[in-house]
Structure 1
Amino acid sequence: MTEQKQPIFTLENGSVRYGSGQPEAVSGVSVRLYRGEILGLVGESGCGKSTTARAMLGLVPLSGGRLTLHGTPVSVHERRLRASVQAIFQNPAASFNPKRSLLDSVAEPLRVHGQGTSKERRARALAELDRVGVTEQMAVRRPNEVSGGQCQRAAIARATILRPEVLVCDEPVSALDVSIQAQILELLAELRTEQGLAMLFISHDLGVVASLCDRTAVMYAGRVVEQGAAPDIANRPRHPYSVALQDAVPSLDLTADPAPRIRTRTGTDDVDGRLLPGCRFAELCPSVTSACTAAPPALDELSPRHEVACYHPFEPAVR
Structure 2
Amino acid sequence: MVSTETSLLLACSNNLAAAVEQVASAVVAVNARQRIPSSGVHWHSGVVVTTDRALKREEEITVTLCDNRTVPATVAGRDSSTDLAVLKLPETNFPTAGIGDSKSLKVGHIVLAVGRSGENGISASMGVINAVGGAWRSWYDGQIDQFIRPDLTFYPGFSGGPLVDATGCVVGINTSGLSRRSNITLPITTVNRVVSQLLEKERITRGYLGLGMQPVHLPDNLQQTLNLQTNTGVIIVNVKPDGPGDRAGVMIGDILIALDGTPMRDSAQVLAMLEPERINQTLNAAMIRGGNLVQVAITVGDRSMKF
Q: Same fold (TM over 0.5)?
A: no
Judging by fraction of residues, say which structure has more strand: 2
The structure with the greater share of residues assigned to helix is 1
Which protein is bigger by CA-based radius of gyration? Answer: 2
Higher relative contact order (CA 8 A, sep 6+): 1
Q: TM-score range by the shorter chain?
A: under 0.3
